[in-house]
Amino acid sequence: MVDLAALPSSTVALLPVGATEQHGPHLPTGTDTIIASWMCSEGARRADSPAVVLPPVAVGASFGHGYDLPGTVSLTPELLAAQVVNVVLWAARTTAIHRFLVVNAHVGNAAALNVATDHLRLERPDLRTAVRDWAALDADVATELRADAEDWHANRGETAVMMAIAPDLVRWELAVAADDPDRTGSLVFRYTAARLSRNGVTGRPSEATPDLGRRLAEGAADALARLVERASVEEPPLDAAQQGLIHSVLSSGRLAAGDAHGHHQAG
């Protein structure tokens, strides 16, 4: 058990953010949350610096999935952003943690999570906050995940990861007949999932294997561990004193420009 009152200042808190949405006929609605939580636990375990994992945010922003695919539950993007801000602020208030890494496993959350960390970096400059998608932590993993679909969902790679980390939740007998192509390549507009996929799948889950899943999951977890180690020691490129000096110089420049403008008008 972790003593939250005794955490060193270098501790990084990992916040898993997933979604509750239909993932084809063969994966559970909690797939994104399961993956985000596993990545955070493994990333923290593998890191050579202190890290803790916060409780996951299990309902994300799934507007893009629409109302037609059963099992989908969504927050508005604004509510998701507010929830993440609230979790971070409470954790910062009740522990010594001031470094927070949000680990996202649902592409539809991206805008809301960026808004959340924009609020935090402006309003709480004493905190360190960032967002990373698990699927983009390692370049080789990212390439492999897109091998069967650029706009992938419940595809070969995601199904393989679930086979590796939660095999009892994968209905393989349905996965073998669930392939559906990526139809987004030449589109101009955005559509909900039911206008793009026949069954909530984009890609070829029939090609998934546990070995592929282990390779993808471990590659991403190792990359997250290295990121945690960097995050545990990172400080802003400019400290507060340097920032104040820059602000003073800029203010002086504005005043000088204003004086020159006033003399010109007077003349």
Domain, as residue range, for 185: 4-235
Is residue 123 located within the same domain as residue 220? yes
Is residue 128 located within the same domain as residue 224? yes
* Count of domains forming the chain: 2
If you search the block for the tokens 């507010």, which residue do you land on?
82
Percent of the chain as helix, strand, coil, to the nearest 5? 50, 10, 35
Q: pLDDT, tens digit, for every residue of 7-32?
A: 999 999 999 999 999 999 999 999 99
Q: pLDDT, tens digit, for every residue of 49-68?
A: 999 999 999 999 999 999 99
Q: pLDDT, tens digit, for every residue of 227-265?
A: 999 999 999 999 877 666 666 666 666 656 566 555 555
Say which range, 2-16, 108-122, 124-138, has the weakest mean pLDDT. 2-16
List 20's β-bridge partners, or say none: 73
Is residue 27 located within the same domain as residue 152? yes
Question: Domain holding 117: CATH number?
Answer: 3.40.50.10310
Q: Residue 14: which H helix or E strand, with range?
A: strand 12-17
Is residue 255 located within the same domain as residue 155? no
DSSP state of 201: -
Which distant-in-sequence residues (6+ apart) come within 8 Å of 95 by Cβ?
4, 5, 7, 13
- How does DSSP assign 73-131, residue by residue? B---HHHHHHHHHHHHHHHHHHSS--EEEEEE--GGGHHHHHHHHHHHHHH-TTSEEEE
pLDDT(189) > 60: yes
SS3 171: coil
CA distances from 119 to 127, 210, 218 (A): 11, 40, 32
Is residue 166 located within the same domain as residue 251? no
Is residue 44 located within the same domain as residue 160? yes
Is residue 173 located within the same domain as residue 265? no
Mean pLDDT of 215-227: 98
Is residue 197 located within the same domain as residue 258? no
Encode 142-176: b = buried (16+ Cβ within 10 Å), e = exposed. Answer: bebbbebbebbbbbbbbbbbbbbbbeeebeeeebe
Instruction: Tell how far CA 70 is from the center of its chain.
Output: 24
Q: What is the pLDDT, as a whole number, of residue 2?
A: 77
pLDDT(267) > 70: no
Which distant-in-sequence residues (6+ apart) come within 8 Å of 53 by Cβ?
13, 14, 16, 37, 40, 41, 44
Is residue 83 located within the same domain as residue 99? yes
Is residue 192 located within the same domain as residue 252? no
